[in-house]
Amino acid sequence: QSALTQPASVSGSPGQSITISCTGTSSDVGGYNYVSWYQQNPGKAPKLMIYDVSNRPSGVSYRFSGSKSGNTASLTISGLQAEDEGDYYCCSYTSTTTYVFGTGTKVTVV
Amino acid sequence: EVQLVESGGGLVQPGGSLRLSCAASGFTFSSYWMHWVRQAPGKGLVWVSRIDTDGSITTYADSVKGRFTIWRENAKNTLYLQMNSLRVEDTAVYYCVRGVEYGSSRIGYWGQGTLVTVSS
């Protein structure tokens, strides 16, 4: 199972909106509404930000939203803040009943 | 509060074995799917294995199939990963992860991880 494709890096200014893409196939992202997103800061465990494409767990800022179109899922961070810096990974359930993560995207607030 | 505490990591030679444990608290362990996910130093996240609520369903990544075994003891609120025939490429931080919600296998909440180093 190949990793889902994400851009290596995305940057934005405080207050701006950025979008991270996550491209897979019809056997994973496109086939199921089971895409999730995680934020990871250096030396820390990942934190769940979005699950089932667009659901936000309690405690996660409303500035984080998710969507999907075809084989590509997206995470949008609006009103970008310095605390949003970190690495972001998408993850999808697959047709072989396994899970596959994305390649990861480093978000920088400039 | 959901707490997942991994243990059992360390240095092992290629071909050796190691058993990881994950002690869970703050939720009804027996009601949640559980996973192991790993991350090699400086690399991305890789899903390793999952197990359903009573241990009757287990799934593995191709890279560990036949070498790793996942199981759980609900009476002890503990998840395990037995790792045999370890390879240098198995070196990683191993995370214990709980399903997002009751009965769901989607990957949700993470422990702090335990480092496994395979080296001679």
Q: How do residues B5-24 score in pLDDT, each as one tens digit? A: 999 999 999 999 999 999 99
User: Mean pLDDT, chain B, as a whole number?
Assistant: 97
Residues on chain A bordering chain B, Cβ-to-Cβ distance under 8 angstroms: 1, 3, 34, 36, 38, 40, 45-48, 51-52, 57, 89, 91, 93, 97-104
Residues A34-54 have pLDDT tens digits of 999 999 999 999 999 999 999
Q: In 3D, which of B82, B91, B66, B65 has the Cα closest to residue B22?
A: B82
Residue A1 has pLDDT above 90, yes or no: no
Question: Where residue A15 falls among pLDDT bands split at 50, 70, 90?
Answer: very high
3-state secondary structure of B19: strand
**Percent of chain B at pLDDT exceeding 70:** 100
Question: Cβ B61–A3 below 8 Å, yes or no?
Answer: no
Question: Cβ A103–B44 below 8 Å, yes or no?
Answer: yes
Question: Cβ B100–A36 below 8 Å, yes or no?
Answer: yes
Q: In what order do the strands lie in the sheet with B18-25?
A: B3-7, B18-25, B78-83, B68-73
Question: Where residue B93 falls among pLDDT bands split at 50, 70, 90?
Answer: very high
**Percent of chain A at pLDDT exceeding 70:** 100
> CA–CA separation, B120 vs B15, rounded Å?
10
What pLDDT shows up at residue B111?
98
What pLDDT shows up at residue B80?
98
> CA–CA separation, A90 vs B54, rounded Å?
28
Taking contacts as CB-CB distances below 8 angstroms, the residues of chain B near A34 are: 106
Q: How far is B120 from chain A (nearest CA, A)?
A: 25
What pLDDT shows up at residue A103?
98
Question: Where residue B103 falls among pLDDT bands split at 50, 70, 90?
Answer: confident
